[in-house]
Every structure is written in C-alpha cells, then in structure tokens.
Structure 1
Amino acid sequence: MAELTTQERLQPSLLDRLTDDEPGKLEESREKRVISAMRLRDCVTRDVSWLLNCVSLDVSVDLDDYPEVARSVLNFGIPDLTGVSLSGINSETLQRQIKDVILAFEPRLTASTLRISANANQKRMDRQALRFSIESEMWAQPIPLNLYLKTEVDLETGNFKVSEGFG
C-alpha cells in the first residue's frame, strides 16, 4: 500500500473500528487503522444502504410526545414502503424524508451539499420501482470528496439498492 500523507489518512467509523475482521490476529495492521478515500466512499455507501433499508420506529409508535426519541437511533430508518404503489407516493415528501434521515444519521455527509432527486424508473415500471440520486460532499482531508449514489427502491419489497455513481 502506498504511504498516505498525514492529511490523507482518514479514520474509519466507530463501527468499522470495532468490527474485528480477523479475530485470530492479536494486533491490527496500520492499513486497518486508516482508510483511503475509496474505502471511505464504500463505507458511506454501505451505511446509507443500511439506513434506507431500516424501517423507522415512528411507523408503529406515535413519537409526537417524545421528540428526543424521534431524533435518536431508536428511530433509525425511513417509513416502510413495502407494497406502496408508485402512484400513491408523493416523491417530494419521500425526498424530504430521505434527506432528513441522512442528515440525522450520516454525519460524514455535508448538510449544505446534500441533494436528493427522484424519478420513476421507466425500465422497471412494471415492478413498481422508484429511482433516487443522492449527491453530497463527504468530509475528508485535505479536501471534501464528492459522493454520487444511485438508489433504487423496489416498492413490492420495500428494499433499497444503493450503489455508487450514475448509470
């Protein structure tokens, strides 16, 4: 691995630091303690996918009297979209919900640069699919990194597929 300068060394998230990929080894290599920009993009993409594939607590419990719970990890995720028809979705509301949940639970993305845009997927209209693009800058040293995510939700299953880039 090429040497990273002090400014290019990015620290993994707490979850990634606590995950032991090699339980048989007693010491962690230097490559595991710092990550590259590419690895950071992969981790953020994975974490956004996990976030969008979780159903928030406020779907089943009224949290109006508990604003702290509504903003906590107990409410991690978005409203359940399983079985919702494409015509029954207000895409502006869903875009706002996705943006709000990303801002609440993904601090590595810069709030002022986060953009969510939705469009119906014409190729998979028969399967009730909706496609989103997520654009943002990620915090990094020495300069922020651009992140472009292609996100498709299958409304039959409520499953989000998140991948990097457009295409």
Structure 2
Amino acid sequence: MQAETMEKDLPVNVRSSTLNYGIPPLSGVNFSDIEWQDVEQNIKQAIIDFEPRLESKTLQVIVNTVDDDDDALHNKLIIEVKGYLKLNPYPKEFLLRTSMDVETGLFDLLDGGNRS
C-alpha cells in the first residue's frame, strides 16, 4: 500500500501527531492484496499513539477473515482489540470486536462473548 510506504518516511514526531491520525484506508483495496499482519500492526500502532488510556504492553489486535459464526466472510474483516484500561486502583480488561465491510468501509460492533 502506497500510504504505508509514505508513512515510513515521515519523521517520528509527525507519525505520532494528529496530522497522521488513523490508519491507511482498506476500502477499495483488493481483499487478496491486503497484508493482514500489516493491518494488525497499523491498528495497534494507531491505538498506542492516540489512546493513552490503554496499557500499550497488554494491547492485542487480531484481524480475521473468518468468524466463528460464519465459515468465511465475503469481503469482511473481524477486528478484535483486547487489553487493559488504565484505571485506579486496578486495570480493567476490555474486549472490542467489530466487523468491517472492505467494499463499503462500514463497521458493525459485535458481541464479545466469553472469549479469552
């Protein structure tokens, strides 16, 4: 993806500033051309850069093209983000699951269930 290549050339202070808020677009990209590990890393880095209320060491991002309820998802991703919120006196675990339609860019919040 061209946006990712350009981002790597930016100075560190610009990469973590609000000028660079978000991740490279996934809408309109051929599903088979997407590097899923890069998407996971981009989401994780954006969360670390722009969400200080989360414990970055505990943050996990998993991107799947298959859901437990459906065998295969046509042009949809399941994005799962889990980790701990920085709360006093103890951190609180959280889990966020969403599906994204790569063709339209629309997101749906999913039930987290009892996943670990």
Same fold, judged at TM 0.5 (above) = yes
- Report if the CA contact (8 A) 1:151-1:162 is conserved: yes
1:117 shift after superposition: 1.2
| Match status 1:152 vs 2:89 | no
Match of 2:56 in 1: 111
Aligned partners of 1:164, 1:145: CA distance in 2, in Å? 18
Percentage of matched positions with identical amino acids: 32
Root-mean-square deviation (Å): 2.4
Q: Which runs of 5+ in 2 are unaligned?
A: none
Higher Cα Rg, which structure: 1
TM-score, normalised to structure 2's length?
0.78
Match of 1:125 in 2: 73
- Report if the CA contact (8 A) 1:69-1:75 is conserved: yes
SS at match of 2:73: helix
1:65 shift after superposition: 4.7
| Deviations, residues 54-74 of structure 1 (Å, cap 9, x unaligned) | xxxx939x4525432221011
Pairs aligned (count): 108
- Give the structure with the higher percent strand: 2
The verdict on how the C-alpha distance between 1:121 and 1:135 changes in structure 2, with shifts beyond 3 A counting, is: same
| Match status 1:67 vs 2:15 | no
> Which aligned pairs between 1:48-87 and structure 2 lie closer than 5 A?
59=3, 62=6, 64-87=9-32
TM-score, normalised to structure 1's length?
0.56
- Give the structure with the higher percent helix: 1
Aligned partners of 2:29, 2:76: CA distance in 1, in Å? 10
1:144 shift after superposition: 0.7
Q: Which runs of 5+ in 1 are unaligned?
A: 1-57
1:121 shift after superposition: 3.3
Match of 2:108 in 1: 161
Match of 2:81 in 1: 134
Aligned partners of 2:109, 2:62: CA distance in 1, in Å? 14
1:100 shift after superposition: 0.6
Aligned partners of 2:10, 2:65: CA distance in 1, in Å? 36
